[in-house]
Amino acid sequence: MPNTVSTRAIADKVRQQVSRKRWEHILRVAELAGEIAKANGLDPQKAYLAGLLHDVARELPEEELVRLCPPQNEVERSHPRSLHGCAGRKIADGWGVDDPEILDAVEGHVWGVSRGNLLGMAVYVADSSEPGRRVNERIRELALAGRLREAYAQAVAKKVEYLRAKGIPIHPRTLKSYAETQA
């Protein structure tokens, strides 16, 4: 891993940025992302680090999210909280995380990732299925059984179904990820 920062240093920084409840979620995602990565032949340390960083910006004020990541479409303008993955990427980069796979996974955990981004898929699945959420256990089991692409497709489909049912606009990148996983 080309990063010049330590996982411990990143963990300390993230812990200072978030509430205790968010920190507990972040730790569960990081652990699960590492396990999913290992089960699917990916680098568990990279997945763990991306999991640590995935929600670093989740509790920032909306004004700060917009400052860090100016909205690019109506979904982002209407729902600035959806920018927390993009903002997290910028924070991680500012802290010296320079691995594009990790940065892409941090950004992509909100909207989805491209077909070839397996590390991003691991973090996305870990975020949507970590045990503290008490949902998506089957998706977690698939990922831990080495069936990451299938687990990711189901996780994206669940997100799209949920947003549609709630009448919440769906980000174009989520729709793109959904279309790719259904093809």
Confidence of residue 98 (pLDDT cuts 50, 70, 90): very high
- CA torsion, points 142, 146, 149, 155, in degrees to nearest 10? 30
Quick one: 7-182 is in which CATH superfamily? Hypothetical protein af1432 (1.10.3210.10)
User: What does pTM read for this prediction?
Assistant: 0.95
Check residue 51 and give its pLDDT. 98
Check residue 4 and give its pLDDT. 55
Of 1, 12, 2, residue with least CA distance to 53: 12
